[in-house]
Structure formats: structure tokens, C-alpha cells
Amino acid sequence: MSTRITVAVVGGGIAGLVAARELALGGAEVSLYERASELGGRVRSTALAGAPIDIGAEAFATRGGAVMQLIEELRLASEVVRPEPLGSWVVTEERSLPLPPGGALGIPSAPLGRASRRVLGTWGALRAALEPLLPRDRTVDRATTLADLVRRRLGERVLDRLVRPVALGVYSTAPEELSLSRLRDLAEAYEREGSLIRAARSLRDSSSAAGGAVAALRGGMAGLVTALAADLERLGVSIHTGHSVEHLGTFAPDGAEPADTILLATPEVTTRALLASSDADSVGDDQPRELQPGTRVEVIALAIEDSRLDAAPRGTGALVAPGTPGIAAKALTHVTAKWADRRAMRDSSVHVVRLSYGRAGSEPETVALSDAEAYELARQDASRILGVELRADAIRDAARKIWVTSTATDANQPLTPQPGIGLAGDWVHGTGLASVVPGARQAARALLAEAQHTLNESDESQVRST
């Protein structure tokens, strides 16, 4: 009798691909099932003006080193590129200003610095600078929201002018909805330092700031998906795309035997539905709750021929404060200013910008618009954000894509699946590849250890019975 552990991985996004690889490296026989026709989830590219462009995730945070470790294992280290040091901006109702460098989630590491004073004003900067002198707040725990903590310790100006735009841009979630349980790096740094300013400095120095130090792959992040898929093929993983899993007991193709264990790398709403279909007692909530599928975000990319953009008027891009009149987008990335390799792939006169729409609690402003209407709105928004009136006839190409972003589960309503099932994904481990990649590897290792323990117990039982 074979003692090789069999595992089914449901979900072919980055979490599923990384988990499947880790399981195969651990000696398991792995099958991966993905509903879509393509692997990669929100890491996806599309053609724009004759060259590929990231229409999903465009970079990874370097904090923790887990993504770089994976990239090195996949022999892609020579393909890593860094953004141009141009800085980014924040656009508010009053004006557009460069964001203070460093820090974490908009929390300034140098509140009395010139950039911070320009955004916060003298009073707001002084209020923030006094924060390290405040006594440690013993009432703060992982259920405390980012908004509550920042308001108490740094004041309303830091919250509204810096933290809110960054939180909405990075997490598509208002700081009132972001608990510290979802911001593990910041929560741990605050617990250690007892001050948000000192925590921001600590994260800056360790390259751990969310939305801070980032890198990408030459030509786009889709190269990571290609490399992972090739490595899974080398490791003998069976990949099934276009295969929708509706019930955990019925998805094995061609009459194959059910897997020993299952790893679900699917959104929370899908995961809970699958677990409920398998075992009504596995969901883990005392009371059933209505689950939303996630926050919908639309990305629109424009290829623009306009020499006035050569000066990168908003650096690598800008975050837009909520309620800014005349701008529906929440963020803009000047792709060809931020990434030199993307600029080299195109005619030097063509610039690429990406605009993001949709904040937590509301649909993207573009969702009901035709392509022509959506691209016109994006042109107008880009004009106002960049401070350059872009002509309609300067748009050389455009693309759009709607994504559903998951959110980390509420720490007060944990999901506890039955033995033999593991969970991975951004709603489990946090937003961004820097959280998803190590989380998926950890989940795979834990599942393998559990399966091996069960197998050893079974073998010992058979020996005793003989």
C-alpha cells in the first residue's frame, strides 16, 4: 500500500500555486483545481499598445523577504526590478502634495520633516510629533481599528490626510474597518515600541512598511505565475483549469480516489460554502452570517502619447483622498515613470497610467459604464490627478478589468475547518504577496505535518492489530 499523501488544492491564484508547490516539495501527490481558464488569480497581464501591462497586482512588498526567497528558488532573481525613486503624491480637495517618504500606512516617520509639514500643516505636524511622548495605551488590542488608534495618538489630520488615502489605496478598505488583527506588522511594531511614530520608523528601517518598499519582475508580475506553473509541472502536480469545485466530496476528475487532505485557497465566501457543503458543523460560527463576496475594484490602464508626462508630474503616482471633487478614481500609477523596464518596452513618447476605482462599501464608479464611457472618465480623472489636461486623441490604447478583493477574516469570527483541510489566501493571511506567500507555505507545511501524523497513527494501529 502506497504511503504517499495525496492533496487536492482548490484555487489557482498565487496562494494556491505556492501551496501546491510546497506540498509537492514535501513529497505529496498534488492535484490543483482552478475555476478560471488561466492560473494566477489577480496576478494577470494584458496587451496595451503592443506590450504587456499588469492589469492586476503590479509589484510585491519586500517586507519579510518571503517573496524574494520564492523568486530566488524559481531562479528569477536576475529579473527583479526596483521602482524609480520619484516618490508618490496625495491629491486632496485643497491641493496635491508629495507624500512624506518612509513610514507605514501613511503614518509619518518624520512628522516635522518638510514633506510632512506641507501635508499636515504646522499644527498637525506638531500634534503628530508629540506622539512618542504619550504614555503607552494599554487598551489597544488586535480588535482596535487603525482609525481609532491613529486618531487617538496622532490626530485627525494624520488620519484624514495621510492614513485614509493609503489604507484605501492599499487595502481598498477605510481605516475604520481595518483592525490591527489584519495589520500584523504594524500591530507587532506598536506593541514593541509603544508609539506609532517609532513603529513607523522601525518598519521603515526593516523595509516592512505596507505600501513602502516594493519590487517587481521585469516585464510584469505575470512572470511569477509562469514560473510557478512550470515548476509545478516539473514537480508532477496535476493542474485542472476550467474546473469549478462545488462540493468537496465530488470534485475528483475521471473517477479518481478522493484526496487524503484538501487545501482551500479560495475567497472566504467560497471557502465557507464549500465547508458547509461538506460538514455543516465545520464553519465555526455560533450564528450564521451573511457573507459578501468581497470588494469589487476596477483597474483601467491608458496608453497616452503626451510629452508633458515625460516630467512625471506626480512621481510614480498618486493616492486620492475620499471626497476629492471631480475625481472618481482612488489612485493612479504612472507605470512608465515608476518602472524603467516598462518604459523601455514602448516608444518613448507613449506613457502608461493605471487608475483604480472602487472602495470598500461601494461599487466602482465605472462598473455600469461602457468601455468608451469608462475610458473617458479615466482620461478626465488622469488629467485632474496629473495636473495635465490630456486630450482624447492622445489616448493610444486602453484596457479594463474588474477584480474582487478578499479581506482578512474577522478575528472574532474565526473559521475552524475539520481536520484534513487547510486554508490559505489573502483573507486568511493578509493583503499582498508579502503576506500571502509565507501564509500559503505555512498552511501547506501544517497540512503535511497533520497528514503525516495521521498516516503514522494509522500505520501503528495496523501493526498493533497484526
Q: What is the pLDDT along the chain (466 residues), one digit of tens a residue?
A: 357 899 999 999 999 999 999 999 999 999 999 999 999 999 999 999 999 999 999 999 887 789 999 999 999 999 999 999 898 898 988 889 888 876 778 898 889 999 899 889 999 999 999 999 999 888 888 889 999 999 999 999 999 989 988 888 777 788 998 888 878 788 888 999 999 999 888 877 654 433 447 899 999 999 999 999 999 999 999 999 998 888 876 555 555 567 889 999 998 888 888 888 765 444 334 333 344 556 789 999 999 999 999 999 999 999 998 889 999 999 999 999 999 999 999 988 999 999 999 887 788 999 999 999 999 999 999 999 999 999 999 999 999 999 887 655 544 455 677 888 999 998 888 888 988 999 999 999 999 999 888 777 665 566 556 5
Asked if 368 contacts 400 with a C-beta cutoff of 8 angstroms, the reply is: no
**Delimiting residues of CATH 3.50.50.60 domain(s) in the chain:** 6-43+220-291+416-465
CATH 3.40.50.450 corresponds to the domain 76-85+295-405: no
Phi and psi, residue 202, nearest 5°: -65, -45
228 CB contacts (<8 Å, ≥6 apart)?
14, 17, 18, 21, 39, 74
Backbone angles phi, psi at 142, to 5 degrees: -70, -15
| Bridge partners of residue 51, in order along the sequence | 48
Pinpoint the residues of the chain covered by CATH 3.90.660.20: 76-85+295-405
The sign one gets for the Cα dihedral 415, 421, 422, 424 is negative
What is the structure's pLDDT at 41?
A: 93
Task: Please state the CATH superfamily assignment of the domain spanning residues 6-43+220-291+416-465 in this structure.
Answer: FAD/NAD(P)-binding domain (3.50.50.60)
Residue pair 159/151 in contact (Cβ under 8 Å)? The answer is yes
* pLDDT at residue number 287: 38
> Beta strands 295-305 and 96-98: pairing type?
unpaired
Q: Which amino acid is at 363?
A: E
Q: Single out the residue of 148, 149, 150, 172 nearest to residue 161, CA to CA.
A: 150
CA distance 332 to 299: 10
Model confidence, pTM: 0.85
Q: Compute the residue count for the chain.
A: 466
Q: Cα–Cα distances in Å, from 210 out to 27, 45, 286, 362?
A: 34, 23, 33, 23
The confidence score (pLDDT) of residue 185 equals 80
Under DSSP, the state recorded for 17 is H
Fold category of 103-210 in CATH: protoporphyrinogen ix oxidase, domain 3 (1.10.3110)
Dist CA 342 CA 130 (whole Å): 42
Specify the 3-state DSSP secondary structure of 378: helix
Burial class (CB in 10 A: 0-12, 13-18, 19+), 174: middle
If we measure between CA atoms, which residue out of 337, 262, 377 comes closest to residue 23?
A: 262
Question: Would you say 219 and 341 are in contact if contact means Cβ atoms under 8 Å apart?
Answer: yes
Type of residue found at 110: A
Query: In degrees to the nearest 10, what's the CA dihedral of 84, 86, 87, 92?
Result: -130
Angle among Cα 140, 144, 147 to the nearest 5 degrees reads 115
- Note whether 160 and 323 are within 8 A (CB): no
Which residue in the block uniquely carries the three cell numbers 488544492?
A: 9
Task: Give CA separation, 420 vs 17, 240, 294, 449, 451, in Å.
Answer: 19, 21, 26, 10, 7
Return residue ranges of the chain for CATH 1.10.3110.10: 103-210
- 137 vs 153: CA distance, rounded Å: 9
